[in-house]
A = this chain, B = another copy of it.
Amino acid sequence: MSEEIKNEEIIEEEVVEEVSEVAEETTGATTEKTDLELAQEKADDFENKYLRAHAEMQNIQRRASEERQTLQRYRSQDLAKKILPSLDNLERALAVEGLTDDVKKGIEMVQDSLLQALKEEGVEEVETTTFDPNLHMAVQTLPADDDNPADTIAQVFQKGYKLHERLLRPAMVVVYN
């Protein structure tokens, strides 16, 4: 802060009365007049900038944290999806006639360990009791009757899977309607 400005401020009380009339005509003083105004404007400006930056920072942190949680929660989605055909193949292998007990046991072990690995990551089979278009794809329909009311699932062609609440693939089903 310049010495000039300090002096100017200090003398205010003594001289403010006698100069009040000439003040408006003193155009050369405009620069001095704006020193305080400018400082206050600058202070206000940076206060606003600071507050905005601070709020934005919190938003960024919040968004980053949410994003991190989502990434963590669904991190296994791609690999899990790619593993599903292997599960289908294992089921088909188990359906082959004339498997020895050893081979059957071996295939079941692989199947169990895959299902267990997927389960630990949040992957579950889609339930197939009542038809739900969000979870099932009807590849065939049968006429509903008294024993089999509409939306009852008659048969599952291929199992569906979901990761937490996200569908990895729908179950392929035959449904009464």
The chain A residues found within 8 Å of chain B, CB to CB, are 1, 4-16, 19-20, 22-23, 26, 28-29, 32-33, 35-37, 39-40, 42-43, 45-47, 49-50, 53-54, 56-57, 60-61, 64, 67-68, 71-72, 75-76, 78-80, 82-83, 85-86, 89-90, 92-93, 96, 98-100, 102-103, 106-107, 109-110, 113-114, 116-118, 120-121
A39: which B residues are within 8 A, CB to CB? 36, 39-40, 42-43
Q: How far is the CB of A149 from chain B (nearest CB, A)?
A: 38
A78: which B residues are within 8 A, CB to CB? 75-76, 120-121
Q: How far is the CB of A169 from chain B (nearest CB, A)?
A: 14
User: CB within 8 A of A49: which of B15, B42, B50, B120?
Assistant: B50
A11: which B residues are within 8 A, CB to CB? 8, 11, 15-16, 19, 22-23, 26, 29
A35: which B residues are within 8 A, CB to CB? 9, 36
Q: How far is the CB of A37 from chain B (nearest CB, A)?
A: 6
Are A96 and B102 touching (Cβ within 8 A)?
A: yes
Are A79 and B80 touching (Cβ within 8 A)?
A: yes
Are A20 and B7 touching (Cβ within 8 A)?
A: yes
